[in-house]
């Protein structure tokens, strides 16, 4: 990862903390995503730790990082509400539909994003695309359904690739699918989730972010 891209991720993470800080209350719960951009956010969030109650996390890795900063992490079922969810993405289109799951945490990410009152997506400019689909769509699958789900994805003109040696925090496998028609992300999100054995897919169309903060060399651009 280049130093320049890390600087952009750091800048959007700081901008997300600036954006949410005025909305924080002592009993607020903050939802936290997964990945290198989310890691910058966790580090920036630590500075305002005294202004909210706890976090809900989307992965074991983010939980460990939050706890290392002394930020308590709640089970989502123990949180009365999640005020805001902040996470990165692999691709963002002009309508704010996303592909996520490069880090394999897509299912918990979608659960926390959906539970949250507000979703702020933080990306560097390289993630912004006109049309989703250069990045393969991650699909989390129950292990015994790997072949069945792969054939169903191939019937949708996808080319599924088994993510070798990777097991999700939920004990499942991931198929990374190239070649799907992503011109209607809302429809494809539902269609892929209708395949037997699929747990969740990385299209975030039904739950698009409310705001996307984009790190560029000339500053952070806010898309609401």
**What does the alpha-carbon distance between residue 201 and residue 191 come to, in Å, rounded to a whole number?**
10
**Min CB(138)–ligand 5RP separation in Å:** 7
The answer to whether the CB of 35 falls within 8 A of the CB of 6 is: no
Task: Provide the 3-class DSSP secondary structure of residue 166.
Answer: coil
The answer to whether the CB of 53 falls within 8 A of the CB of 29 is: yes
**What does the alpha-carbon distance between residue 39 and residue 196 come to, in Å, rounded to a whole number?**
33
Check binding of 172 to ligand 5RP (CB under 6 A). Answer: no
Q: Which is nearer to ligand 5RP, 127 or 149 (CB)?
A: 127
Q: Which is nearer to ligand 5RP, 52 or 85 (CB)?
A: 85
Binding residues with ligand 5RP: total (CB under 6 A)? 17
Q: CA angle at residue 209 from 176 to 14, to 5 degrees?
A: 100
Q: Which of residues 176-195 bind ligand 5RP (CB under 6 A)?
A: none
DSSP single-letter state for residue 78 = G
Count other C-beta atoms under 10 Å from residue 164's C-beta: 7
Q: Which residue of the set 19, 91, 109, 140 is catalytic? A: 109
Segment interacting with ligand 5RP (CB under 6 A) among 28-36, 68-76, 145-153, 160-168: 28-36
**Min CB(99)–ligand 5RP separation in Å:** 8
Check binding of 215 to ligand 5RP (CB under 6 A). Answer: no
Q: CA angle at residue 64 from 63 to 67, to 5 degrees?
A: 85
- Give Rg (Cα) of the chain: 17
Q: Which is nearer to ligand 5RP, 126 or 157 (CB)?
A: 126
**What does the alpha-carbon distance between residue 65 and residue 139 come to, in Å, rounded to a whole number?**
25
The answer to whether the CB of 94 falls within 8 A of the CB of 68 is: no
Q: Which of residues 34-93 bind ligand 5RP (CB under 6 A)?
A: 34-37, 87-90
Q: Is 189 a catalytic residue?
A: no
Q: Which is nearer to ligand 5RP, 100 or 163 (CB)?
A: 100
Q: Which of residues 103-132 bind ligand 5RP (CB under 6 A)?
A: 103-106, 109
Sole binder of ligand 5RP in the list 31, 33, 133, 136 (CB under 6 A):
33
Bridge partners, 54 (sequence order): 29
Active site residues: 109
Binding site residues, ligand 5RP, CB under 6 A: 33-37, 87-90, 100-106, 109
């Amino acid at each position: 990862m280049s130093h320049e891209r890390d600087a952009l991720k750091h800048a959007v993470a700081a901008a997300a903390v600036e954006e949410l800080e005025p909305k924080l209350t002592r009993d607020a719960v903050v939802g936290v995503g997964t990945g290198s951009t989310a890691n910058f956010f966790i580090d920036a969030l630590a500075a305002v730790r005294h202004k909210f109650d706890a976090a809900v996390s989307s992965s074991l890795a983010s939980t460990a990082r939050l706890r290392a900063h002394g930020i308590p992490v709640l089970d989502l079922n123990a949180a009365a509400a999640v005020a805001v969810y902040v996470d990165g993405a692999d691709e963002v289109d002009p309508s704010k539909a996303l592909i996520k799951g490069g880090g394999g945490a897509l299912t918990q990410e979608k659960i926390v994003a959906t539970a949250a009152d507000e979703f702020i997506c933080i990306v560097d400019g390289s993630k912004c695309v006109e049309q989703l689909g250069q990045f393969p769509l991650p699909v989390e699958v129950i292990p015994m359904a790997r072949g069945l789900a792969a054939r169903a994805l191939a019937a949708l003109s996808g080319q599924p690739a088994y993510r070798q040696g990777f097991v999700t925090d939920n004990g499942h496998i991931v198929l990374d699918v190239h070649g799907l028609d992503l011109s209607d992300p809302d429809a494809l999100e539902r269609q892929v989730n209708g395949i037997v054995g699929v747990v969740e897919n990385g299209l975030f169309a039904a739950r698009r972010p409310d705001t996307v903060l984009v790190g560029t060399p000339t500053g952070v651009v806010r898309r609401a």
